[in-house]
Each structure stands twice: as structure tokens, then as C-alpha cells.
Amino acid sequence: MLFGQASPTATRALDLEIGGGFTSLSPATVSTRFNGGTAYFDANFRAHFGVEGAFRFAADSAGTGQYEKTYEIGGRYFRTYGRFLPYAKLMYGRGVYNFTEPYQATPPSGPTVYQPVANLAYNLLAGGIGVDYEVLPHVNARADWEYQRWLSFEGSSIGPNLFTLGAAYHF
């Protein structure tokens, strides 16, 4: 009778969220914005600590054919305040930049066409903040800001600013 304690029933080892969203970024290489999409996951395995992974693809909105594609993973710290879940994250990843240059079509009075010049990959570091809002018990809305630092980008480095609005399913 002394060992008749009940085992906890409302615990789990992992809290998982998978989502996507619209991303807009300023690439620091051209004056126009790049727009595209994001797919991400959050895996929280301890109170206030977890892992985030993200894939982003954004293309030049001016139609030059330039784009950025990134793959990132890293840690995140979060807190819960009712339906709001603000967080901060530090990530490491790989970014691919597609370079293009103008090519004058024949005849010369035709439209400017852009041709690929190079498609190069770089390591990157990223930090960001955001907030998830619980819309329904298993659906969250997200607003996220991130700053990336691409290392060794053409002899220097670039620092795109990204803003993402999205939604996720929370398992």
C-alpha cells in the first residue's frame, strides 16, 4: 500500500510543430526585395528549450532570376504567456545564391533577359526573434524576424534581413 502512487499520465518526451509561411527579405546585393516561402519545424524537448529547422526559398521580385535558398538548424529559447509563445533562436546553415546578369536579346530593342552566371553556396549564421500565437488548440500563427550572416560571400559577407508570416500544426 505504501507504493500505490499513480504514474504521471500527461507527460511527453517531445513537443512537435510543423509549418510554413510567406517570407520577404532584403538580400543586401540588389535594391529589390526577394519574396518566397518557408517550411519549418520546431521540436521542443525541455521546458523553454528546443530545436528549430527551416528551409527558405525567395526570388528577386524584379524578375532578374536571382534567388536565395537556405537550410538552417539551431537552438531556440521560448516562454509561454497564455496563447502567446515568444522565442529567440540561434541557427547555423547553408545558403545558396543564384547570380544572374543582364543579356541583351536580339534584336537590341527587345526586352532585357537575365542569364544565370553562378550558383554558389555559403555557410551562414542566423539569429532571430518571433512569436507564435495559438489560434486553435493545434494551429499556431507565426510572425518571425531573422538576421543572417553569410560567411565568405564573394570575399566579404552579406547580411539579409528576413520577415516571415506563417502558420503551423502543433502535434
pLDDT digits (tens, 9 = 90+) for 14-34: 889 999 999 999 987 778 899
Break the chain into its structural domains and give their ranges. 15-170
pLDDT computed for residue 64 by the predictor: 85
What distance in Å separates the CA atoms of residue 144 and residue 8, rounded to the nearest whole number? 35
Q: In 3-state terms, what secondary structure has residue 61?
A: coil
Cell of 32: 529589390
Backbone angles phi, psi at 118, to 5 degrees: -155, 155
pLDDT in tens, the chain (171 residues): 566 666 665 566 788 999 999 999 998 777 889 999 999 999 998 889 999 999 999 999 888 888 999 999 999 999 999 999 999 999 999 999 888 887 766 666 666 778 878 888 999 999 999 999 999 999 999 999 999 999 887 666 688 999 999 999 999
The domain at 15-170 falls in which architecture? Beta Barrel (2.40)
pLDDT computed for residue 118 by the predictor: 82
pLDDT computed for residue 29 by the predictor: 75
- pLDDT over 90, % of the chain: 61
Cell of 87: 522565442
pLDDT computed for residue 37 by the predictor: 97
Query: 126-162: string of b/e by CB count within 10 Å (b at 16+)?
Result: bebebbbeeeeeeebbbebebebbbeebeeeebebeb
10 Å CB burial of residue 167 (0-12, 13-18, 19+) is: middle
Residue at 59: amino acid letter: A
Backbone angles phi, psi at 25, to 5 degrees: -140, 155
Q: In 3-state terms, what secondary structure has residue 111?
A: coil
Nearest alpha carbon to residue 138 among 98, 106, 167, 100: 167
